[in-house]
């Protein structure tokens, strides 16, 4: 994905600023109108311009913030790729990636992780090797 294809919020932000300026000008012009209906129209235009302008400004800055978050570059999910499996040296069970078999984990990390293991075969091996207490 090319970074030039991403929306950066600049169109919404620019249009938002234009609408806010039109709304503020209409708010200052409204009291000087000659008829009541012209004043209502000018205040309505002021409310609409400021309201939509602020909404578009918020949207533009939100799009800019989201589309350039770290980690959103070229992330593609590959569901077709097969998960690689690693065999455990202790019990010969296959463990799919990103998991690791108990035999491949460092001693200190295994001491911390052993109480959280739910597999009964792994629990038996960890108990036999002294990583779990009965």
The pLDDT value given to residue 68 = 66
In angstroms, rounded to a whole number, what is the distance separating the alpha carbons of residues 18 and 34? 26
Q: What share of the chain has pLDDT > 70, as a percent?
A: 81
Q: Please indicate, yes or no, whether the overall pTM of this predicted structure exceeds 0.75.
A: no
Tokens encoding 4? 């030039």
42, 30 Cβ separation under 8 angstroms: yes
pLDDT confidence band for 114 (50 / 70 / 90): confident
97, 84 Cβ separation under 8 angstroms: yes
Give tens-digit pLDDT for 65-76. Answer: 776 666 655 555
Tokens encoding 43? 């205040």
pLDDT confidence band for 4 (50 / 70 / 90): low
In angstroms, rounded to a whole number, what is the distance separating the alpha carbons of residues 129 and 90? 10
The pLDDT value given to residue 46 = 92
Tokens encoding 79? 């569901």
In angstroms, rounded to a whole number, what is the distance separating the alpha carbons of residues 102 and 114? 9
How far the first Cα of the chain sits from its last, in Å, is 54
In angstroms, rounded to a whole number, what is the distance separating the alpha carbons of residues 108 and 89? 18
Domain spans, the chain: 3-67, 85-128
Q: Is the dihedral of CA 99, 100, 102, 106 positive or negative?
A: negative
């Amino acid at each position: 994905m090319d970074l030039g294809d991403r929306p950066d919020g600049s169109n919404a932000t620019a249009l938002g600023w234009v609408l806010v300026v039109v709304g503020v000008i209409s708010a200052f012009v409204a009291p000087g109108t000659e008829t009541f209906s012209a004043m209502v129209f000018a205040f309505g235009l002021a409310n609409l311009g400021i309201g939509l302008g602020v909404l578009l400004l918020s949207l533009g800055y939100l799009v800019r913030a989201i589309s350039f978050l770290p980690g959103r570059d070229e992330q593609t999910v590959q569901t077709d790729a097969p998960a690689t499996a690693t065999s455990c040296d202790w019990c010969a069970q296959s463990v799919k990636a990103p998991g690791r078999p108990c035999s491949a984990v460092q001693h200190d990390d295994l001491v911390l992780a052993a109480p959280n293991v739910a597999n009964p075969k792994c629990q038996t091996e960890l108990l036999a090797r002294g990583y779990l207490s009965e």
